A and B are shown apart, each in its own frame.
Chain A
Amino acid sequence: MSRGFDPVEFGIRYGFLLLMAGLIVGFSVAQPAFMSARSAVFIFQSVAITGILALGVTATLVVGGFDLSIGAVATSSMMLAAYAQVIWQLGAIEAVALCLLMGAAVGYINGVLIVKMRVPDLLATLGMMFLLMGLQRIPTEGNSISTGMALPDGSNATGTFSPSFLMLGRHRLDVVIENLLPLSVVFLIAIAVLIWIFLEMTRHGRIMYAIGSNDRAAALAGIDVNGYRILAYVISGTLASFGGILLAARLGRGDVASGNNLLLDAVAAALIGFAVLGAAKPNAFGTAIGALFVGILLQGLTMLNAPYYTQDFIKGAVLVIALVFTFALSGRRGRARH
């Protein structure tokens, strides 16, 4: 690669970012309201929850694993946050701590199932997904949780969501414009930066990549492969439960939902991330861009009155194109290098 300019190389590295810039310009021309500070912030807000989940997926992808349970962890965490506050009448801090603990515990169990019990990752997390989807409904007999709801014993729930808890999903900071930046966006950016630093800058991150590319070699090099793989699932579970907390804070109730759409959107973001900057591997920066890309598309299409099925179609098309970028083009480059 000593030549000055290689269009294929350039396309692989910057193609996706250019496509994104093109989309932004296109939508702005078609609908001027698209190009405003509020609209930009809103795109971030609409992808904050799936983005955070996608960063968790990235952590498991890095060690060559996969976590199908994140959607269910997120909705379970939402139900738990609601249950803790509305029925147990706990405060915001206890509720958040409880949810994070639940997410970490689920991640740990996933990790142990995969590493110690040797259950394949897709199967273990699939089982966990169904388990959680059922478990979150048992305490309320399948009902959503909200203040004033009738309890199985005939009385009514009197607890309310703590205002500081609701702030997590609703409060907006004054940045340049008043009430501009939602806290959830701040969380997304902070978590993305943290995961990026962890994976790219620390020894632990490099070890996790090493495990993902060849776990046997990593084990022979004296690395605690099992420990790191469990850690990846704990990260994934914890981030998913945090996503659920933000969801509960935005909706203001515990909504019965399977979370499958959250899972699919998060996985799509992480996979699109492979194509960003020609990384051809899971990476935090790519995941964040992938999530944003989907957010920009959906926001723009909705503004242009495109019905939901065309949005699903386009989401799918983007994913396929991203995967082609990753596997076909980058693969050719890889072979050319040999």
Chain B
Amino acid sequence: MISRRTLIGLMGGAAMWPGLVLAQDGAPAPFDNPGDVRIALVRYLSTGDFFQAYLSGVEKQAEALGVELQVFDSRQDAALQADMVDQAIALGVDGIIIQHGLTESMKEAAQRAVDAGIKVVAFDVNVENEAIPQIEQSDRDLARLALEQAIEDNGEEWVAGYVYVPGIAPLDRRNETWVEFKETYPGITEKAAFGTMDNPIANSVANQARSVLSANPDITVMFAPYDEFAKGVKIAVDEAGLSQDVSIYSADISTADIALMREADSSWKATAATNPAVVGEVSVRTLAQYLAGEEVAPQVIVPPTLITQDQLNELEITNMEELGAKLPEFVHADVSVSDWMTLPER
């Protein structure tokens, strides 16, 4: 049901592509006068490359549409985030994007915003409200793409190390896929599971991974479905001199990650990623469609892309910009696109 709707959305978006140049001419209300439209982004998480890139996507799409954007940053303070929704309501914004947060603390605040007649969309947080569409990067697909590549490279039988910290929603969803995979492929043995969010995360995970590798020298595949984890594992693999023997499969990507994947004999073989900037753009577009009175699917999924070491080397990609230029599916998702919208310049 959801996938069919998304598919229709995708097809619709693709069909409308040539019309984009003329954008905004026949924009529906309230976007016939976009300067008067005010939207708020209420954030729970903001530190780190991913969230920074997400914000830049939101800013660019808001600018392209010509709407006024106000950013509220609660910096992992759940109570403050709820207060900030109330602040946004008091300011009389037209739409709110809730970015991450806790179901318990956001549910009521989100309902208050809906009651105040404000259109709300949520990214990566379930506020249990039918009037609020969910925007998601598909973490299950991310994990699936990376693991399928691991099977393709290493066959169906290997000894694995797994990096995981429970209680973090995207990692929990990636974990579900890993658990299913182990059932589907009984040849995969998980010898060790470890992980920590102590920052700098890469440094702490490197320390753990070193211990794991020396205790379990038969590990050939490390599944580290978060790039900070993968960086840590790679440091440990390099320090242990095992870069020829261990392969790392991961999720997420950044310029620094690309450099690490492209090092000579790098053990980091593939990663699956959704471009956080694209997710930011999709968040704003979904809200815009909602404000314009168009039909919005209850779940808007931004599809991930698999990026392999070979691909990066063949296409000589060295940073995120080139990645976007050479893998166009990474820099733009035809999700939540209406013909009247202006897209950010690339």
List A residues at the B interface (Cβ < 8 Å): 31, 33-34, 36, 38-39, 42, 45-46, 49, 75, 78, 141-144, 146-150, 156, 170, 179, 182, 247, 250-253, 255-261, 298-300, 302-305, 307-308, 311
* Residue-wise interface mask of B (175-211) relative to A, using a CB-CB cutoff of 8 A (1 in contact, 0 not): 0000000000000000011111111111110111011
Given the complex, which residues of A lie within 8 Å of B206, measured CB to CB? 250
A148 interface neighbour in B196, B201, B238, B258, Cβ under 8 Å: B258
State the Cβ distance, B277 to closest chain A Cβ, in Å: 11
Q: Is the CB of A256 within 8 A of B49?
A: yes
Main secondary structure of the interface of B (DSSP, over half): helix
Q: Is the CB of A255 within 8 A of B259?
A: no
| Residue B327 interfacial (CB < 8 Å) | no
Give residues 50-88 of B contacting A (CB, 8 Å): 52
State the Cβ distance, A19 to closest chain B Cβ, in Å: 20
Alpha-carbon distance between A256 and B202 when the two chains are bound, in angstroms: 11
* B48 closest partner in A (C-beta): A256
* B231 closest partner in A (C-beta): A251
Given the complex, which residues of B lie within 8 Å of A255, measured CB to CB? 199-200, 202-203
B211 interface neighbour in A148, A258, A303, Cβ under 8 Å: A303
Given the complex, which residues of A lie within 8 Å of B260, measured CB to CB? 252
Q: Is the CB of A156 within 8 A of B215?
A: no
Q: Is the CB of A33 within 8 A of B214?
A: yes
State the Cβ distance, A303 to closest chain B Cβ, in Å: 4
| Residue B337 interfacial (CB < 8 Å) | no
Q: Is the CB of B203 within 8 A of A251?
A: yes
| Residue B212 interfacial (CB < 8 Å) | yes
Given contacts A261-B199, A308-B165, contact A149 B319 (CB under 8 A): yes
Interface residue tally of chain B, by bracket? 35 or more
Q: Is the CB of B321 within 8 A of A141?
A: no
A302 interface neighbour in B194, B197, B238, B241, Cβ under 8 Å: B194
Given the complex, which residues of B lie within 8 Å of A46, measured CB to CB? 207, 210
Given the complex, which residues of B lie within 8 Å of A78, measured CB to CB? 200
Alpha-carbon distance between A42 and B212 when the two chains are bound, in angstroms: 12
Alpha-carbon distance between A138 and B241 when the two chains are bound, in angstroms: 37
Task: List 9 A–B pairs whose Cβ atoms lie within 8 Å, in order of A's numbering.
Answer: A141-B52, A148-B319, A149-B255, A247-B200, A251-B235, A256-B47, A257-B201, A302-B194, A302-B211
Alpha-carbon distance between A298 and B212 when the two chains are bound, in angstroms: 11
Given contacts A142-B47, A250-B206, contact A75 B200 (CB under 8 A): yes
Given the complex, which residues of A lie within 8 Å of B255, measured CB to CB? 146-150
Given the complex, which residues of B lie within 8 Å of A34, measured CB to CB? 215
B200 interface neighbour in A182, A257, A298, Cβ under 8 Å: A257
| 4 tightest A-B CB contacts, nearest first | A146-B256, A148-B319, A303-B215, A302-B211
Q: Is the CB of B215 within 8 A of A259?
A: no
| Residue B243 interfacial (CB < 8 Å) | no
* B318 closest partner in A (C-beta): A148
Alpha-carbon distance between A26 and B241 when the two chains are bound, in angstroms: 27
Q: Is the CB of A33 within 8 A of B215?
A: yes
Given the complex, which residues of B lie within 8 Å of A300, measured CB to CB? 211
Alpha-carbon distance between A237 and B9 when the two chains are bound, in angstroms: 56
State the Cβ distance, A300 to closest chain B Cβ, in Å: 8
Alpha-carbon distance between A305 and B201 when the two chains are bound, in angstroms: 18
Q: Is the CB of A144 within 8 A of B254?
A: yes
Q: Is the CB of A49 within 8 A of B203?
A: yes
Given contacts A250-B235, A259-B199, contact A150 B210 (CB under 8 A): no
| Contacts beyond the supplied A149-B256, A304-B215, A308-B195: 10 A-B pairs with Cβ under 8 Å | A42-B210, A141-B52, A144-B256, A150-B319, A250-B235, A257-B200, A302-B194, A302-B212, A305-B193, A308-B194
Q: Is the CB of B52 within 8 A of A39?
A: no
Given the complex, which residues of A lie within 8 Å of B198, measured CB to CB? 261, 308
Given the complex, which residues of A lie within 8 Å of B195, measured CB to CB? 307-308
Given contacts A148-B258, A247-B203, A251-B203, contact A143 B52 (CB under 8 A): yes
Considering residues B199, B217, B241, B258, which has the most beta carbons from chain A within 10 angstroms of its beta carbon? B199
Alpha-carbon distance between A256 and B49 when the two chains are bound, in angstroms: 8
B199 interface neighbour in A143, A257, A305, A307, Cβ under 8 Å: A257
State the Cβ distance, B191 to closest chain A Cβ, in Å: 9
Q: Is the CB of B49 within 8 A of A305?
A: no
Given the complex, which residues of B lie within 8 Å of A156, measured CB to CB? 319, 321
State the Cβ distance, B174 to closest chain A Cβ, in Å: 17
Given contacts A33-B214, A250-B235, contact A150 B48 (CB under 8 A): no
* B238 closest partner in A (C-beta): A170
Given the complex, which residues of B lie within 8 Å of A148, measured CB to CB? 255-256, 258-259, 318-319
State the Cβ distance, A109 to closest chain B Cβ, in Å: 24
* B258 closest partner in A (C-beta): A148
Given the complex, which residues of A lie within 8 Å of B239, measured CB to CB? 42, 45, 170, 182
Q: Is the CB of A253 within 8 A of B256?
A: yes
